[in-house]
A = this chain, B = another copy of it.
């Protein structure tokens, strides 16, 4: 598989497809645990409640070919999906803001299994600077530029209070961060070419509360 081609193809993958592929991956992992060797789009469709034609279309972005009658090789499907989704690549990240959520994320070793290694965290609280959480060192925010020289880090995780969300984002970008994973409920602004992934737990809470009120 040619790396350049893979990247080029990935550029065109629609976000809904990227969000569905992990579902197929976890379904395939489950099947492997149960001893299955092959899986068809129809089987994945039954398990995930997504149309088989949609699944085939989504999987067409991935370099995998099913076999007539038997479907996809489960082991190959897992391998190819993990690779395609970037879960095997070991992306290094810094985390900014070791508050309640930031500290919680540092404690979540699951991120490592999905290709993200948090190599350091930043805060200004003297009680936190110099300590570690889950083996990850916490540095003073002022030493960020210096730490960027030590590590090849492209990703910054933003878990600071909203009043400094934009300032810290600007600082990250000036220091060379290329993608910001924004956990704050604040809508940050970045220059063209910088990736922002918003994951506001609180926005998800709002949607869930609303739907729950409607359902009760």
Contacts and interface: CB of A to CB of B under 8 A. Distances in A.
Interface string A84-100: 01110101000000011
Contacts of A13: 210
A211 B197 contact: yes
Contacts of A215: 178-179, 193-195
A193 B202 CA distance: 22
Chain A interface mostly = helix
A53 interface: no
B202 A86 contact: no
A208 interface: yes
Contacts of A19: 200, 203, 206-207
Q: How many copies does the complex hold?
A: 2
Contacts of A205: 85-87, 111, 114-116, 181, 197
Interface of A: 7, 10-11, 13, 15, 18-19, 21-23, 25-27, 29-30, 33, 47-50, 85-87, 89, 91, 99-101, 103-105, 107-111, 114-116, 154-155, 162-163, 178-179, 181, 184-187, 189, 193-195, 197, 199-216
25 contacts: A13-B210, A18-B206, A21-B206, A22-B202, A23-B185, A26-B185, A26-B186, A29-B162, A47-B187, A48-B187, A86-B205, A86-B206, A87-B205, A91-B212, A104-B105, A104-B107, A110-B201, A111-B201, A111-B205, A114-B205, A155-B212, A178-B215, A181-B205, A197-B211, A199-B199
